[in-house]
Amino acid sequence: MATIKTTDENFDQIVLKSDKPFVQRFTAEWCGPCKMIAPLLEELSDELKDKVLFGSHNIDDEPNTPTKFGVRGIPTMLLFKGGKVVDTKVGASSKQQIKDWILSKI
């Protein structure tokens, strides 16, 4: 399953109303660490497709949502369950570290 592109306009409908836990990544085109973890999250979206959904949100094109959630650095991943943030992970990590983080919270 591919990562879902979120915008300020569709964020609430896609993320906050999701039936499954949702890992929302905040990113930017110019961010090296963001580019490093993007393919890892694509792989995890396939591996964990029955358990969790993944989204990507460009902070430069869509700045309101990251501001609303206090995103101050990127990459930032917010894990949502039932429309609420249950945990935050800032910075690049290995695929296994990200997977372990997700599985420990859902």
Query: Domains (ranges, CATH) in the chain?
Result: 4-105 (3.40.30.10)
The Cα 23–Cα 77 span in angstroms is: 6
Identify whether the C-beta of residue 47 lies closer than 8 Å to the C-beta of residue 99. yes
Non-local (6+) Cβ contacts of 49 within 8 A are: 1
Over 90: is that where the pLDDT of 1 sits?
no
Q: What is the pLDDT of residue 2?
A: 86
DSSP one-letter code for 2:
P
Q: Give the active site residues.
A: 31, 34
Please state, as a whole number, how many other Cβ atoms lie within 10 Å of the Cβ of residue 83.
11
Would the pTM of this model clear 0.75, i.e. be above it? yes
Burial of 29 (0-12, 13-18, 19+ CB in 10 A): exposed
- Chain segment 31-76, per-residue pLDDT in tens: 999 999 999 999 999 999 999 999 999 999 999 999 999 999 999 9
